[in-house]
Amino acid sequence: MSAGYPLSLYLDCMPRPRTFVPADESTMPGLVASNIRALASRRGLSQVQLAKAMGMSARTLADRWWGKTQWQLEDLDAAAAVLGVTPWDLCTPDDLWRARRDSNPQPADP
């Protein structure tokens, strides 16, 4: 460090760890984000793969994936098509439709 500069100036310039708080699943945006994350995981799709299949940037998907920004209606249609569900399924608590869709659960299913 150079003499004459306060330590706080250096500390302010250092990167800070990013803290993440997942979206609250009791809200509609949080529920949608949670359902999309769960369905993508079950189908073996990463965020990047889902973004590419939906025709959006990985950054845009990441913001929606974690509930930082809300999903747009046209994005719900695209996500539902890629994930093999309806847009309604993305907006419904998963325990209401999971049993209907998974009539033959496998040991790997949660």
pLDDT of residue 46: 92
Cβ atoms of residues 47 and 61 within 8 Å: yes
Please name the CATH architecture into which domain 25-91 falls: Orthogonal Bundle (1.10)
- pLDDT band at residue 73 using 50, 70 and 90 as cut-offs: confident
Residue 21: both structure tokens together: 């708080």
pLDDT of residue 95: 60
Query: Domains of the chain: which residue ranges?
Result: 25-91
pLDDT in tens, 9-46: 555 555 555 444 455 667 778 888 888 988 999 999 99
Does position 68 have pLDDT exceeding 70, yes or no?
Answer: yes
Global model pTM greater than 0.85: no
28-42 and 73-83 helices, crossing angle to 10°: 20
Question: Which string of b and e fits 49-62 if b means at least 16 CB within 10 Å?
Answer: ebbebbebeeeebe
